[in-house]
Structure 1
Amino acid sequence: MQPIQAQIESVRQQITACANAAKRDPASIKLLAVSKTQPAERLQAAYEAGQRAFGENYLQEALDKINALSNLDIEWHFIGPVQSNKTRDISENFDWVHTLDRLKIAQRLNDQRPAGTPPLNVCIQVNIDQEASKSGCLPDELEALALNVADKPNLQLRGLMAIPSPNQQGNCAFSRMRALLEQLQKHPKLSAMDTLSMGMSGDMAQAIAQGATIVRIGTAIFGARD
Structure 2
Amino acid sequence: MSSIADNIGSVTRRIQKATLKAGRPPGSVHLLAVSKTRAAEDLREAAAAGQTAFGENYLQEALDKIAALEDLPGIDWHFIGPIQSNKTRQIANAFSWVHSVDRLKIACRLSEQRNSDLPPLNICLQVNINEEESKSGCSLEELEGLASAIGELPNLRLRGLMAIPAPNQPEAKLRASFRKLANALKTLRQAQPEAGPLDTLSMGMSGDMETAIEEGATWVRVGTALFGKRSPKS
TM tier relative to shorter chain: over 0.9
Aligned partner of 2:179 among 154, 175, 184:
175
How many Å apart are 1:115 and its aligned residue?
A: 1.2
Deviations 1:137-187 (A, max 9, x none): 011000000011111110000000000001432411000000000000012
Residue equivalent to 2:13: 13
Structure-1 separation of matches of 2:153 and 2:161: 17
Q: Say if 2:159 and 2:196, in contact at 8 Å, map to a contact too.
A: no
Residue equivalent to 1:87: 88
Q: Confirm or deny that 1:166 pairs with 2:167.
A: yes
Aligned alpha-carbon RMSD (Å):
0.9
How many Å apart are 1:71 and its aligned residue?
A: 1.3
Could you state the TM-score of these two structures normalised by the residue count of structure 2?
0.95
Residue equivalent to 1:219: 224
Q: Say if 1:184 and 1:191, in contact at 8 Å, map to a contact too.
A: no
Structure-1 separation of matches of 2:187 and 2:147: 12
Structure-1 separation of matches of 2:121 and 2:17: 31
Q: Which amino acid aligns with 1:25?
A: P
Residue equivalent to 1:34: 34
How many Å apart are 1:191 and its aligned residue?
A: 5.2
Residue equivalent to 1:195: 200
Most deviating of 4-13 and 167-176: 167-176
Q: Confirm or deny that 1:152 pairs with 2:141.
A: no
Q: Which amino acid aligns with 2:145?
A: A
Structure-1 separation of matches of 2:138 and 2:98: 14
Unpaired runs of 5+ residues, structure 1, are: none
Structure-2 separation of matches of 1:215 and 1:26: 15
Residue equivalent to 1:110: 111
Q: Percent identity?
A: 58
Unpaired runs of 5+ residues, structure 2, are: none
Residues paired across the two proteins, number: 226
Runs in 1 of length 4+ with deviation above 6 angstroms?
A: none
Structure-2 separation of matches of 1:58 and 1:26: 32
